[in-house]
């Protein structure tokens, strides 16, 4: 079985658009009375959740090829199209069901194909059925299908539940009135349910029940998710379980689902990245494979024009993105330059062939020239796509370099990377230099550096960090350090526990709390990076001049260490082993350590899921681990959270307010 979740989800959605029931679960009626011609073209209706699911997978052209002539939001005002069938993809909520009942009353379309991103509850199913009867539209409702696609695939091996703010919900502690405490508890239960439902959809898409490893700590949110997921699978009616997962398969052929808490590595969430995709996520705000970059304002007769922006979609078909999203930024920038040179050379070759044809009949080889023209014409679509990709990545690299230079991001990355190996005195000196008012960077950049230092020195005396904290507030005119207060509280809380993930004996000491497990750290790559200052992008500008040319020190992230150990299926007392199929009656089938000795063989496939937010740096580290170990690893999380957004969560947990204003204010460092 392949762990290409994007391909699996795409197949499920294409089946939906082909009007295939796929799962005969809730309701389906198809007979000869449904004319084939009436389904040749169709209208797609979606809510905001389904829109985010569809966006990374389906282009307008792909929808057209599936016969979709209109795609419209459920909440929009729509005119009747009585001859057309309508395909709906919606979240299974009462609000959406009520809107569907209004649609049936209005009799907008010829036939209705209702699809839900997750399981529609029995109560809502009955409500929908009663409404269809009252509207006299039972025969027009062709099917009601649970599709189990409530997650967003960003690449073949990365997915998100698209649920931000989960970390702050799971870690919110209230000492207020009982009502406030009950509200917090309810929010935590809902956050856990979000993770459980999303993970159930993922394993339902694969059609296989995985074996689960989760932290053994009773306070672990990931453990709570594992138990709830086990309960949901084990308590399914037998016929439903068979329809979704088939018959029980050997444990040797089931993937491993590794559930981890965000606290496995907090440093990776606040440190400044240097890989291409994480840098775009941090600096430019990559969201659901879409990024918006500013365009230079232009002068006109009427005066300066307002700033403009341009939006780019980083799609799976973008070969450059697939190859270099996990590369260090200098490598990616060099690859853009080299690809642009190759593109120009190919274009010159085609132009030369055309010039030879136009030169006249003297010495003209008709057969050879005709073959050359055919070759050139066949190459044009590929060249057009390559040009589009190069334009995109040239714009992104330009925008990144501007921010790197303005904020000194290369220096922040280097300093934070060196915290793992610096002596204490050197680390303090480096931090003081970076925090100083005369140094570039926003107040938030400097706060992130201080948090990275704190997380790399958990055993430091409190007064050492306090001195740097006071300096930070003074040099940045009072930036909030509430995030640091929360991390101190978390550290004190962990010391009271006897078994936590952060103290797992997996070699995750201060030197392993973060790192960029990116390849290309050999001498050849270093030599290439050293020449970046002389490389030119479009119009002959030395774009990367002034940017520090270095590659990340190759270190193994904690998540990669954990996953590598658990894939070997070795004894690990800090992780429970959970088999949702062990007990069909629904009791928890779990044991400490690894599986029984008869099953203690290495796993070839793993789904790694982080509860509380994920990082593209971690995703890149696991891609490298998969390549190195020749195993399939799928990385997912409740949401890919940018460092600044995660810092906002930490700040609110520490009692502070949003840091957005500090983020946008870069200090003036001019003399």
Q: What percentage of residues in the chain have a pLDDT greater than 70?
A: 75
Tokens matching residue 525: 């790559």
Tokens matching residue 68: 């979709």
DSSP 597: G
| 392 neighbors 400 (Cβ within 8 angstroms) | no
- Interstrand relation of 256-261 and 605-611 (parallel, antiparallel or unpaired): parallel
Structure confidence at residue 423 (pLDDT): 93
Structure confidence at residue 225 (pLDDT): 98
Structure confidence at residue 547 (pLDDT): 64
Reported pTM: 0.86
Residues in the chain: 671
Distance of CA 378 to the CA centre of its chain: 36
Residue ranges per domain, the chain?
5-150, 165-264+557-640, 276-280+307-402, 410-530
User: Taking 80 as the threshold, does the pLDDT of residue 519 lie above it?
Assistant: no
Distance of CA 92 to the CA centre of its chain: 23
For tokens 């946008």, the residue is 664
Alpha carbon distance 568, 593 (integer Å):
12
**What are 398-415's pLDDT values in tens digits?**
999 999 999 999 999 999
Alpha carbon distance 67, 69 (integer Å):
6
Report phi then psi at 566, rounded to 5.
Answer: -70, -30
Alpha carbon distance 412, 433 (integer Å):
11
Alpha carbon distance 529, 533 (integer Å):
8
What proportions of the chain, in percent to the nearest 5, are helix, strand and coil? 50, 15, 35
Q: Which of 398, 659, 662 is nearest to 542 (CA)?
A: 398
Does this chain's domain 5-150 share its CATH topology with 165-264+557-640? yes
**What are 350-389's pLDDT values in tens digits?**
777 666 666 655 554 555 555 555 555 566 666 778 888 9
**What are 334-344's pLDDT values in tens digits?**
999 888 888 88
In degrees, rounded to 5, the angle at the alpha carbon of residue 421 between the alpha carbons of residues 420 and 425 is 100
DSSP secondary structure of 380-448: HHHHHHHHHHHHHHHHHHHHHHHHHHHHTHHHHHHHHHHTTTS-HHHHHHHHHHHHSTTS-S-HHHHHH
Residues 6+ apart with CB under 8 A from 399: 283, 284, 293, 294
H runs (alpha helix) in 421-570: 424-435, 443-456, 462-475, 482-495, 523-530, 558-567
**What are 10-47's pLDDT values in tens digits?**
999 999 999 876 554 555 665 445 555 456 799 999 99
Q: What percentage of residues in the chain have a pLDDT greater than 90?
A: 62
DSSP 574: T
Structure confidence at residue 26 (pLDDT): 55
Is residue 408 left, alpha or beta, with left meaning phi > 0 and alpha meaning psi from -120 to 50? left
Alpha carbon distance 95, 98 (integer Å):
5
User: Taking 60 as the threshold, does the pLDDT of residue 111 lie above it?
Assistant: yes
**In whole angstroms, how large is the CA radius of gyration of the chain?**
28
Distance of CA 278 to the CA centre of its chain: 10
Dihedral of the alpha carbons of 89, 90, 91, 94, in degrees to the nearest 10: -140
- CATH 3.20.20.70: does it fit domain 5-150? no
3-state class (DSSP) for residue 456: helix
Alpha carbon distance 463, 436 (integer Å):
19
Dihedral of the alpha carbons of 550, 551, 553, 555, in degrees to the nearest 10: 160
Tokens matching residue 420: 């793992």
Structure confidence at residue 520 (pLDDT): 35
| 383 neighbors 526 (Cβ within 8 angstroms) | no
Alpha carbon distance 605, 203 (integer Å):
13
**What are 154-186's pLDDT values in tens digits?**
999 999 999 999 999 999 854 444 446 667 889
Alpha carbon distance 568, 600 (integer Å):
8
User: Taking 90 as the threshold, does the pLDDT of residue 623 lie above it?
Assistant: yes
Alpha carbon distance 551, 154 (integer Å):
26
- Span 236-261, average pLDDT: 83
**Across the chain, how many H-helices and E-strands are there?**
24, 18
Structure confidence at residue 112 (pLDDT): 96
**What are 115-161's pLDDT values in tens digits?**
999 999 999 999 999 999 999 999 999 999 999 999 999 999 999 99
User: Taking 50 as the threshold, does the pLDDT of residue 518 lie above it?
Assistant: no
Is residue 126 left, alpha or beta, with left meaning phi > 0 and alpha meaning psi from -120 to 50? alpha
Identify the CATH assignment for 165-264+557-640 out of 3.40.50.1910, 3.50.50.60, 3.40.50.300, 3.20.20.70: 3.40.50.1910
- Span 296-307, average pLDDT: 59
Alpha carbon distance 164, 612 (integer Å):
8
The 8 Å CB, 24+ separation contacts for 92-96 are 92/116, 92/117, 92/118, 92/119, 92/120, 92/121, 92/124, 92/146, 93/124, 94/124, 94/127, 96/47
Alpha carbon distance 189, 204 (integer Å):
22
């Amino acid at each position: 079985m392949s762990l290409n979740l994007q391909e699996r989800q795409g197949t499920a959605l294409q089946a939906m658009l082909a009007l295939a029931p796929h799962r005969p679960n809730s309701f389906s009626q198809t007979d000869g009375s449904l004319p084939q011609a009436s389904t040749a073209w169709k209208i797609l209706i979606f809510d905001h959740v389904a829109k985010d699911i569809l966006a990374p997978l389906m282009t307008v052209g792909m929808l057209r090829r599936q016969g979709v002539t209109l795609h419209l939001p459920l909440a929009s005002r729509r005119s009747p199209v009585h001859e057309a069938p309508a395909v709906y993809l919606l979240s299974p909520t009462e609000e959406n069901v009520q809107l569907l009942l209004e649609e049936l009353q209005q009799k907008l379309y010829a036939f209705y194909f209702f699809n839900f991103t997750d399981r529609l509850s029995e109560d809502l199913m009955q409500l929908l059925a009663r409404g269809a009867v009252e509207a006299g539209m039972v025969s027009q409702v062709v099917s009601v299908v649970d599709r189990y696609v409530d997650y967003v695939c960003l690449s073949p091996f990365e997915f998100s539940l698209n649920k931000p703010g989960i970390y702050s919900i799971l870690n919110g502690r209230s000492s207020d009135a009982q009502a406030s405490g009950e509200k917090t508890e309810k929010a935590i239960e809902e956050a856990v349910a979000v993770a459980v439902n999303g993970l159930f959809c993922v394993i339902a898409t694969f059609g296989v029940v995985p074996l689960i490893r989760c932290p053994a700590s009773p306070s672990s949110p990931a453990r709570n998710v594992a138990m709830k997921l086990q309960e949901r699978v084990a308590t399914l009616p037998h016929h439903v379980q068979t329809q979704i997962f088939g018959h029980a398969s050997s444990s040797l052929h089931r993937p491993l689902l590794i559930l981890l808490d965000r606290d496995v590595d907090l440093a990776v969430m606040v440190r400044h990245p240097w890989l291409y995709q994480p840098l775009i996520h941090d600096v430019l705000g990559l969201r659901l494979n879409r990024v918006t970059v500013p365009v230079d304002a232009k002068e006109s007769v009427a005066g300066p024009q307002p700033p403009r922006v341009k939006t780019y979609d980083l799609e799976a078909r973008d070969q450059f993105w697939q190859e270099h999203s996990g590369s260090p930024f200098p490598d990616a920038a060099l690859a853009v330059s080299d690809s642009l040179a190759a593109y120009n050379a190919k274009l010159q070759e085609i132009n030369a062939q055309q010039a030879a044809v136009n030169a006249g009949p003297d010495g003209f080889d008709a057969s050879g020239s005709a073959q050359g023209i055919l070759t050139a014409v066949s190459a044009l679509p590929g060249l057009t796509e390559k040009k589009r990709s190069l334009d995109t990545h040239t714009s992104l690299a330009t925008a990144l370099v501007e921010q790197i230079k303005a904020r000194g991001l290369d220096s922040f990355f280097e300093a934070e990377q060196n915290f793992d190996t610096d002596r204490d005195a050197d680390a303090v000196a480096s931090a003081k230099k970076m925090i100083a008012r005369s140094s570039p960077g926003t107040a938030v950049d400097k706060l992130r550096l201080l948090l990275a230092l704190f997380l790399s020195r958990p055993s430091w005396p409190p007064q050492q960090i306090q001195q740097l904290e006071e300096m930070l507030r003074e040099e940045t005119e009072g930036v909030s350090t509430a995030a640091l207060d929360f991390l101190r509280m978390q550290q004190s809380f962990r010391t009271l526990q006897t078994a936590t993930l952060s103290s797992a004996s997996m070699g995750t000491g201060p030197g392993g709390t973060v790192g960029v497990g990116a390849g290309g750290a050999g001498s050849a790559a270093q030599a290439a990076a050293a020449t970046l200052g002389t490389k030119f992008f479009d119009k002959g500008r030395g774009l990367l001049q002034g940017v520090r040319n270095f590659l990340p020190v190759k270190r193994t992230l904690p998540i990669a260490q954990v996953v590598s150990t658990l894939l070997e299926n070795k004894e690990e007392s800090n992780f429970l082993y959970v088999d949702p199929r062990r007990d069909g009656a629904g009791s928890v089938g779990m044991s400490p350590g690894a599986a029984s000795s008869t099953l203690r063989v290495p796993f070839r496939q793993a789904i790694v899921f982080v509860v509380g937010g994920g990082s593209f740096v971690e995703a890149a580290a696991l891609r490298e681990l998969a390549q190195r170990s020749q195993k399939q690893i799928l990385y997912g999380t409740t949401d890919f959270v940018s460092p600044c957004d995660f810092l906002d969560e930490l700040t609110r947990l520490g009692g502070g307010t949003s840091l957005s204003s500090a983020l946008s204010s870069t200090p003036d460092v001019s003399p």
